[in-house]
A and B are shown apart, each in its own frame.
Chain A
Amino acid sequence: QLQLQESGPGLVKPSETLSLSCTVSGGSISSSSHYWGWIRQPPGKGLEWLGSVHYSGSTYYSPSLMSRVTISVDTSKNHFSLKLTSVTATDTAVYYCATHLGDIVGGPFDPWGQGTLVTVSS
């Protein structure tokens, strides 16, 4: 049974880069059948898909954030990472990692990590 766990700084300064990792247990991140994604949720607001990655390195990004988001895979550590540049207070959110159930085309998100709150503030 796959389990995912986010980690990274809980506080980031404005204009800096937000960096998070998601460690996968119970399975290999190099599985050809799995795609890995990041979703965020500002306090009191809805969910927003940020992007997804395949272990091969193929990446898929939200058009609205594409210029600031990078998602990558580290197979040696069995984890994948999120980098979001030039952050502002509007990037304050709980960040979740998740895996796609099935293919990237249409594959729903299951399971999810527990989420980690990142606050952007000086």
Chain B
Amino acid sequence: QSALTQPRSVSGSPGQSVTISCTGTSSDVGGYNYVSWYQQYPGKAPKLMIYDVSRRPSGVPDRFSGSKSGNTASLTISGLQAEDEADYYCCSYAGSYTFDFGTGTKVTVL
């Protein structure tokens, strides 16, 4: 069991799109369609933004979308807004009732 790999940071101007990658192995990301993404503001608890690779919980803006190809999942934020500046973590089911989180990505709105 090991952490999934994410870029340390990504940035974009308001209105642009940014994509965060989450790379694992065939034992986690590549093996199951159970990737979720969380948004975390400083000092706050994480909030679920995407689950089952591409499903959005009620209340999450459709600017947030998820996808997966092989052992890499991605979160795309379209039409970037100032309020999207936060840390983002991916998480994947890793079999045998275990879960791996990603290393985390800081999104900066320029």
| Pairwise interchain contact B1-A106, C-beta atoms closer than 8 A | no
Interface bits A51-90 vs B (CB < 8 Å: 1, else 0): 0100000001011100000000000000000000000000
| Pairwise interchain contact A64-B34, C-beta atoms closer than 8 A | no
Contact of B57 (CB < 8 Å), options: A47, A96, A110: A110
| Pairwise interchain contact A101-B104, C-beta atoms closer than 8 A | no
Contact of B1 (CB < 8 Å), options: A63, A101, A109, A113: A63
Interface residue B93 (Cβ < 8 Å from any Cβ of A): yes
| Pairwise interchain contact A46-B45, C-beta atoms closer than 8 A | no
Binding site secondary structure of chain A:
loop
Total interface residues in chain A, CB < 8 Å = 25
Interface residue A114 (Cβ < 8 Å from any Cβ of B): yes
| Pairwise interchain contact B45-A105, C-beta atoms closer than 8 A | no
Contact of A109 (CB < 8 Å), options: B32, B52, B91: B91
Q: List the A side residues contacting B84 at CB < 8 Å.
A: none
Interface residue B36 (Cβ < 8 Å from any Cβ of A): yes
| Pairwise interchain contact A49-B103, C-beta atoms closer than 8 A | no
Query: What are 25 A-B interface contacts by the 8 Å CB criterion?
Result: A46-B3, A46-B102, A46-B103, A47-B38, A47-B91, A47-B101, A47-B104, A48-B101, A49-B100, A52-B97, A60-B97, A62-B1, A106-B32, A106-B33, A106-B34, A108-B34, A108-B36, A108-B91, A109-B36, A109-B46, A109-B91, A110-B48, A110-B57, A111-B48, A115-B45
A residues adjacent to B (C-beta < 8 A): 39, 45-49, 52, 60, 62-64, 96, 101, 104-115
